[in-house]
Amino acid sequence: MSTTEFRNYIDGSFVDAAATFDSIDPSTGAPWAKMPAASVADVDRAVEAAHHALRSGPWASMTASARGKLLVKLGDLVVANADRLAELETRDTGKIIRETRAQIAYVGDYYRYYGGLADKHEGSFVPIDKADMEVTIRPEPIGVVAALVPWNSQLFLSAVKLGPALAAGCTVVLKASEDGPAPLLAFAELVHEAGFPAGTVNILTGFGHDCGHRLTSHPLVARVAFTGGPATARRIVVNTAENLAYTTLELGGKSPVVVFSDADLDSAANAVVAGIFAATGQSCVAGSRLLIERSVKDEFLDRLKRKAESIRIGDPQDPATEMGPLATSRQRERIERIVAESLTAGGRLITGGARPKEKTDGFYFAPTIIEASDQSLVCVREELFGPVLSALAFDTEAQALSLANDTEFGLASGVFTTNLARAHRMARGIRAGVVWINTYRAVSPLVPFGGYGQSGLGREGGLDAIRDYTRSKSVWIRTSDEPIPDPFVMR
């Protein structure tokens, strides 16, 4: 069987790397494609191309309106090519095809949104306290942006970085994860087709110890936008000591979903299942901690058990499949270890906890629910990034809020209740960047997204995102025709 080969996109051209590596199909565990492993020299070339495009050439002189039109065109191309991109993402990451198709089609809206905002991010006039001066504030592009995204939801996570960065006039070097980079390397073809000038957007993949380290510490990089895990983020922060790049970090979480006894339990159960088992639990906002009011705990867990056991696990390319494999074998091995430790420490297995017997190939793991007696279990404390739900009971609203906040993370959360006053109290009290009330996993380009604590720094999405890719320049104009007085003559 022939192997598909991908190339990096640097300075407007598709180029080979000196080395390649195999990309694994998670549904079979077998190699299916050759990926380019970008070297330090490749990174240098990409950053230098981005720097040149920022300082001279067509992109540097392009109006904001023209930049916006290119972004809108890119959004249209993403939608037109959503099926192909989705098939590649499913093949390379194991995410089911019906989810990748829907998500990638929506990604087009992010590029259109920021395309529309490109010429609406205005400067300001300052009513300065000096009669012979006028002062204006000009927002200017911050510089070359290093954007690093993980394999999961990579088209979406790229859009929330590329969209505002390009709208602001920056240039970008985008690093795709070495785990499943195919859709982003193919997305480069759409960037090229849209007509972005050479060097404006560069897309490559490689490994962290050389490609990632060089990119985030490069002296010409002015901003780093990263989505991934806390351990990698700490290394990036150390790297940016070399270039003092402005940094935003979105680092996942251990998101609580709080279900009160007065909630619509059918609706809540559907949301909990979607929140933890969609994308095989490999989502930064996965609702992996269920907090359920004790009076309805047994009934609710029984509903979840039935729903989890009815999930159709299979080939991610099959539209009928409801849950696919994990993306990597090492991720499955980590989950197996944490589940075993949690059960040994006193967790009660409701369902799952093992590889599906009927799936002997690929990196599959069954939908799993563990009832925990307290928050000390490792499955409750750590982000597993897989289809594992930890359930804890509470008795009072105050206890529910305390449990929800008893985590080092703070990215997302959900609350299910028909009590409007309680909903407002919980929304005010939960320490997380996103609080969903009677829903879960809803996103929009209009709404900022980001976390508290170990879930990261900064926000992506919404109107303000463009500002994070600019820096202000103060322009002072003296309006008096009188000569400037001699500073050494006393009056």
Contacts of 148 (CB under 8 A, 6+ apart): 174, 175, 212, 215, 216, 224, 225, 226, 227, 228, 236
> Considering just the CA atoms, what is the radius of gyration of the chain in Å?
25
> How many Cβ atoms sit within 10 Å of the Cβ of residue 278?
20
- Looking only at the bridges linking them, the beta strands covering 256-259 and 289-293 are parallel
Catalytic residue among 250, 293, 371, 383: 250
Instruction: Classify 57 in phi/psi space as left (phi over 0), alpha (psi -120 to 50) or beta.
Output: left
Q: Where are the beta strands (DSSP E) in 177-245?
A: 201-205, 221-227
Residue spans of alpha helices (H) in 240-346: 265-277, 297-310, 329-344
Strand bridging mode 221-227 / 246-250: parallel
Q: How far is CA 312 from CA 88, 94, 276, 304, in A?
A: 21, 14, 15, 15
Q: Catalytic residue at 336?
A: no
The position carrying tokens 């297995």 is: 349
d(CA 401, CA 237): 32
Q: Which residues of 352-391 are buried (b: 16+ CB within 10 A; e: fewer)?
A: bbebbeebeebbbbbbbbbbbeeeebbbbbbbbbbbbbbb
Strand order in the sheet with 124-126: 124-126, 133-141, 470-478
CB 190 within 8 A of CB 214: no
CA distances from 187 to 18, 104, 179 (A): 22, 11, 16
Residue whose C-alpha is closest to residue 139's, from 459, 466, 477, 461:
466
Selection from 38, 36, 31, 25 nearest residue 328 by Cα: 25
The residues annotated with a catalytic role in the active site are 250
